[in-house]
Amino acid sequence: MESGPDEGIGAGSGPLRKKALMALYAAGCPPNVIKHSLAVAELAMEISRAIERNGVRIDADLVEAGALLHDIGRARTHAIDHAIVGASMVRGMGFPEALARMVEVHVGAGIPADEAEELGLPRRDYLPTTLEEKIVAYADKLVDEDRRMAPEEFARRFSKALGPGHPAISRFWRLHREISELMGRGSRVS
Ligand SMILES: [Fe+2]
């Protein structure tokens, strides 16, 4: 089943979910981006639930909406600045600033100012800092289109794309360790 913000895939029920889905359609996001975003939201919610079972509070509504919106900028560009473009679209649509932030820092495992500048982005840190931001950035890394992949597979691809030893790869593994520890043993993703 495809088409329209009422579809039940992933079936979260947060109050922001429908608004986020409608925003994707209104922005003209391509269907494959919407499919990817739904898959990321589903994984992000599974991660959130596993972490919450260990007594850590998470704003799951924000995680779900952030995961749905993270690639909204791809309605306009697939370049690396889709995160910045997307964040500004989200701000313009009247979503909370926390959601714009989640969109802005989802690329890679975050990008520090010096690397951002090398990539041609405005020089500042684009690093996920809140747990909600980290969950969305992490879940996005483990979903290729709408297919889940193991952290090892992502790291292999990342290393092939960036060159072995690139600092972004160890940033990804740090993020992986942090999320995995919060999820606890036996809760491996994918
Ligand atoms: Fe993205």
Q: Give the pLDDT confidence of 6-40 residue by residue, as tens digits.
A: 444 444 567 899 999 999 999 999 999 999 999 99
The rounded Å distance from CA 173 to ligand 1 centre is 18
pLDDT of residue 26: 97
pLDDT of residue 6: 47
The rounded Å distance from CA 74 to ligand 1 centre is 7
How far apart, in Å, are the Cα atoms of 8 and each of 2, 15, 24, 75? 9, 14, 15, 22
Q: What percent of the chain has pLDDT over 70?
A: 90
DSSP string, the chain: --SSTT--TT----HHHHHHHHHHHHHT--HHHHHHHHHHHHHHHHHHHHHHHTT----HHHHHHHHHHTTGGGGT--STTHHHHHHHHHHHTT--HHHHHHHHT-SBTBB-HHHHHHTTS-SS-B---SHHHHHHHHHHHTEETTEE--HHHHHHHHHHHH-TT-HHHHHHHHHHHHHHHHH-TT----
Alpha-carbon distance of 18 to 21, in angstroms, equals 5
Domain 15-183 has CATH 2.40.10: no
Q: Does the global pTM surpass 0.85? A: yes
pLDDT of residue 185: 61
Q: What is the mean pLDDT of residues 100-122?
A: 96
Alpha-carbon distance of 40 to 65, in angstroms, equals 11
Q: Give the pLDDT confidence of 38-89 residue by residue, as tens digits.
A: 999 999 999 999 999 999 999 999 999 999 999 999 999 999 999 999 999 9
The rounded Å distance from CA 13 to ligand 1 centre is 23
3-state DSSP assignment of residue 186? coil
Q: What is the mean pLDDT of residues 144-160?
A: 97
The rounded Å distance from CA 70 to ligand 1 centre is 6
The rounded Å distance from CA 82 to ligand 1 centre is 7
In the chain, domain spans: 15-183
The rounded Å distance from CA 154 to ligand 1 centre is 14
pLDDT reading at 186 higher than 70 = no
Instruction: Decide if 73 contacts 84 (C-beta within 8 A).
Output: yes
pLDDT of residue 151: 97
Displacement of CA 180 from its chain's centroid (Å): 16
Alpha-carbon distance of 52 to 46, in angstroms, equals 10
- Which range has the worst mean pLDDT, 129-133, 151-155, 183-187? 183-187
Neighbouring C-beta atoms of residue 59, cutoff 10 Å: 16
